[in-house]
Every structure is written in C-alpha cells, then in structure tokens.
Amino acid sequence: MKTVSITTKIAGVKLDACIFNTSGPADATLGELEIIARSQSPAITMKSCTLAPREGNPEPRYADLEYGSINSMGLPNLGYKAYIKFAARLKRKYKKPTVASICGMTLAENVTMFKAFNNSAVDIIEFNPGSPNTIGKPIVGYDAGEMDRLLDAVSKVSKKPYGVKLPPYFDLVHFDQIAAVIKKYPVKFVTCINSIGNGLVINPYTEQPLIKPKGGLGGISGKYIKYTTLANVRRFYELFEDKIQVIGVGGVYSGIDAFELILCGASAVQVGTAFLQNGPGIFERIQNELKDFMAVKGYKKIADFRGKLKTL
C-alpha cells in the first residue's frame, strides 16, 4: 500500500504535514518558538504581535479546565520587531516556514507592521484583527464595516501572502456578510476559529472566578468549542467555493478531530490548547493518528476527502 501523505499547501507555501501550532499558546519567546521548531509541527506560528511590547492582562489570566481552558491573556508579546528578528533566526536554523500573526490596536499600527514584515523572513502572515481578550477593544470580526476598512488598508501594503483569523460566528447572515467582505481582497485563507469570547468559569468552593481580568470573563478554548469550529470551517468552505482556503482550529486533540475538520473543508489544522496541555509531542501524535485513520478509510492524501462531507 502506498504511504499515506498529509502534506498540504497554505497560501502557496508547502507544509510537510497539515497539523501545526496556532498563534497564542507558548509561542511568545524565542525559546518557546524553538521548542515548536524542534517538534513535528511543519510550520512555526509566532505569537500575535503588537506595535509595542505588551505585558498583557493581570494574572491569573489562564486556567485549565476539564475539557479545555479559559484565558484572558491580553496579547502579552515582545513587540513586532522582536518577531521579525526571531523569524530570521528560526528560518536559518530550522528551515521551516514561519507564520507571523499581526494584531495591531489601530489601522495605522496594522499598516506599519504589515510593511515591516514585507522585508522579513516570514512566509505567511495571519492577520488577527481583534482578539476577544483585549480589554477595551471590540472584536473586529463582528464589525463587517471595520473589517472592510482594515483589509482595504493592509491589502494595499502587504507583499506577503496573508490570511485572516476570524472569531466564531453563530448567525448564518454573519457568515455571509464577512465572506462578502473577505472576497473583495487578496486574502489567501481564513483561520476558524478564535476562542469563544467572554465565558465565565467559577470555583463554587471559593465563590470566585478562575481568572482575574474582566471580572473573570475570558475566551473558552479546547474541546468545548470543537463543534462550533466544525460549523465555521464548513460554512466558510462552502461560501468561498475553495477559492480562499480555510484553516481549522479549536478543539483538536486527536487525529480524528483533525480528520473531521478536513472533511468539512480545512486545508490545514492548527492545535492550541492541546499543545499547551500536552507539550510539543502532540503534533506528531495527531499527525500519526490522522494517517492511521486515513489508512483505515483507504485515503492516500487529504485531497481524497477534504471538503467531502456527506449530506443526510
């Protein structure tokens, strides 16, 4: 039997496997990025960066839960100039594609960073316009007009292939509205989904929330959000008619989780909370589980089943 292949391309960049790390967990420092680089993750996704370094929200700001996590990190990062330097070092040493994540606080900041990354070693940019865990900043993905304004501005200056990390959508009309905006611009992919914003987890014994920022409100991630992820991946795959790629992220702990996202239309799958909770060996394990399941199903490559969800 032929070897099962899980290679893929994102924005024209070849990845040796379709499972890699998402921006956010354990990817802020060079040391953390080198751990990812030495793992079986086929790409190195860096922390969402802002113009200036940020300490983020007050601690405690992250808590593990039975089936995932809650966080309100507030984008702690070293500032975009650090990640431009890191990308060059990582590329020289590890020869893997690198993915920058840009999350400016204003249109001008985003334009400045996109311009700066034009002359960097990064291969792909993931634009993260509006984290759910930044105090005082609305989630841009829920404002079609603001998304339009931002994409218009960054599209005029970006020379790197880029995609957009989207929040979860729950109303069918919102999928249509955001897809219509994205189709106007040279967006190569969307990443679905960011954490589900503003959940609340409490300890009934102490009668307190588990995290401090925003009175305990934070983004919910992990297995809790897998089914929302599947729906978002599927809907955007259908709306984009495979002309804009979809990367699935949210609730991926196993090869079968990854298989389901690809079946819904994902061209690649990112891992976040599971990486944080299980360590860098998670990438190889999920990749092997995916290949084993594909072999059982008789699939040789992800194109054999990607997007081919059967209807009832």
| Residue 187 in tokens | 């967006």
Asked whether 300 and 292 are in contact (CB, 8 A), the reply is no
- Encoded tokens for 113: 């960073």
Q: Return d(Cα 24, Cα 48) in angstroms, integer.
A: 7
Q: Are 216 and 64 in contact (CB under 8 A)?
A: no
CATH 3.30.70.100 fits 8-56+78-196+222-304, yes or no: no
Question: What share of the chain has pLDDT > 70, as a percent?
Answer: 97
Taking residue 176's Cβ as centre, other Cβ atoms within 10 Å add up to 13
Cα 171 to Cα 249: distance, rounded to the nearest angstrom = 19
| 71 SS3 class | strand
pLDDT, tens digit (0-9, with 9 covering 90-100), for 248-257:
999 999 999 9
Average pLDDT for 162-187: 98
List the one residue out of 167, 127, 178, 173 whose CA is nearest residue 249: 167
Query: Which one, of 107, 109, 192, 116, lies nearest residue 153 by Cα?
Result: 107
Q: What pLDDT sits at residue 17?
A: 98
pLDDT digits 0-9 by tens, 62-117? 999 999 999 999 999 999 999 999 999 999 999 999 999 999 999 999 999 999 99
- pLDDT averaged over every residue in the chain: 96
- Size of the chain in residues: 312
Please tell me the pTM assigned to this model.
0.97
Return the domain boundaries, the chain. 8-56+78-196+222-304
CB-side neighbour CA atoms (13 Å) of 262: 28
Structure confidence by residue, pLDDT tens digits, 112-158: 999 999 999 999 999 998 666 666 677 899 999 999 999 999 999 99
- Write 230-234 long-range contacts (CB < 8 A, 24+): 230/260, 230/261, 230/264, 232/166, 232/168, 232/169, 232/175, 232/192, 232/193, 233/192, 233/261, 233/264, 233/265, 233/266, 234/264, 234/265, 234/309
pLDDT, residue 1, reads 44
